[in-house]
Chains A and B, each alone.
Chain A
């Protein structure tokens, strides 16, 4: 928070699930800062708390203790503030894309903008073109390839120009060719547009595209390069 270049910071985060004897603490006082324009990869074994960290940084959940700040604004825990910031400043790419199956690619983008009280000012069209999926705009998810679906999900996550793009194992369901393509796009968006990206991945190859790699184990950061 002291560094004005830090866009997203998490300090001393603790998060547990369950109650009583079944209570399990997933994050044990984790701290992490993401710089503006940085492409950060978070790696670690299953169950180490990567997704929990991403959900907390994406303001979809709140920590038991600790602080998160986004664009210099401390998150105070109110649902309204988290919803507003999620709407304005966060873009999320899921492993399973999570497109709305009833809507076409273009409408998937439009509904996300509608939720955010924004209108498409040509940004979505640019992204469709940039990601090479201009031809799928009128198709529904079932009519697209896996790679196309994931790129539509990326367009949706970026259409409102978020401060931070959070990606939860975005290549997890893609073949190697589509993974390469997606990571190329991430790299390109990051380099050309200065888009801040935080990506969770199991793949060392995918993580290799990032500026910085953070390794997690048992709810804590154990290494970063």
Chain B
């Protein structure tokens, strides 16, 4: 069976290759940008959901903003209040202090947590290298001793300017009674920054020692002692945290527990399973932006096809007239042009998908902190968009082809 559309494409190899490349770039942009935006966001959500907890307690009114809030916000005493009032349903209450710390050229949500609660945040994952920070609590104890030391403030001081402010100096951090500022990071951050256990790093205005590396997939990429985070980034106020994570006892229903605890303490209580939705809400505009960019890329790619097919029709008026001289119907001509468009798009889509995997590999190799998630769903969406685009962009050239006047075209030979 003669396959004229395929023969045409193979006859004009360079033109076909360039057209397929144009479509391929559009498809690659669609798959890669979607994969990058969703992949990176869902990776954050996956990490949040990996925490061995059920609920998040956040200050009243934070609601969906809880996903990206940080700093001092919630009195830490609520952890004790919840343990005391709801010990029948709550197994564990873990206060955390979240603050952005810049490492390897990127800001990360670092989480301050008590070393005893560290396993809750890692979902039980063991450290792959090194140890947890401040295991013996020496730094926290040292810091507490500093904070609780008799004030040097004059007794008659009434102005805030007269209050003593505790500041850490290099000499303080070199005190042999503690091990200084310590961090645990995840393996992706370690790979991105070429960090290793024992390495000293300067981040957010302080010098830190990386003491442990935890496998990727845990709640945040950086962990530090709760007390350190509170002191350094909570303006010295060690009585507040950002949120409190709650682990419910086995068999306790989440909905009623949320109601009960919320009524008891008056702050927002959110199921951890809503974290993904909160993130999506937060970044909805980013998806709109990405989708617009994708749509523009696809439109440009298909204008490319339309121009290619239109040029092809103009150049091959005589061939079309020959087909019509055999008695080719308009439907036959339409099928030939659309088949050529669909084949070109098929090649382009295949190329685009291959380019997407290459782009994903390059992005994740050179930017290890980014996640590109290429899913069957998005590949199917890209292929469907390409097929629709191929038909639409082939219609006008096909219409022109159908209007070719046989006698005129053959007489002009």
Chain A residues proximal to chain B, CB less than 8 Å: 51, 55, 58, 60-61, 83-88, 90, 92, 94, 96, 98, 100-103, 107-108, 110-112, 114-116
Contact = CB atoms under 8 A, between A and B. Distances in A.
Contact of B2 (A83, A94, A111): A111
Interface in B303-328: 318-319, 322-328
Contacts of B328: 87, 115
Contact of B322 (A51, A84, A100, A107): A100
B293 interface: no
B4 A103 contact: yes
Interface residues of B, number: 23
Given A98-B318, A111-B323, 7 more contacts: A84-B327, A86-B326, A87-B326, A87-B328, A88-B327, A98-B322, A111-B2
Nearest to B7: A102
B1 A98 contact: no
A96 B411 CA distance: 11
B197 interface: no
Contact of A116 (B1, B10, B326): B326
Contacts of B324: 60
A115 B2 CA distance: 11
B11 interface: yes
A184 B413 CA distance: 27
A115 B322 CA distance: 11
B327 A100 contact: no
Contacts of A100: 4, 7, 319, 322
Contacts of A114: 1-2
Contact of B327 (A51, A61, A86, A102): A86
Interface centre among B319, B326, B411 (most CB of A within 10 A): B326
Contacts of B2: 103, 107-108, 110-111, 114
Given A83-B329, A86-B326, A98-B322, A51 B411 contact: yes
Contact of B1 (A84, A88, A92, A110): A110
A92 B63 CA distance: 78
Contacts of A96: 413
A60 B323 contact: no
B410 interface: yes
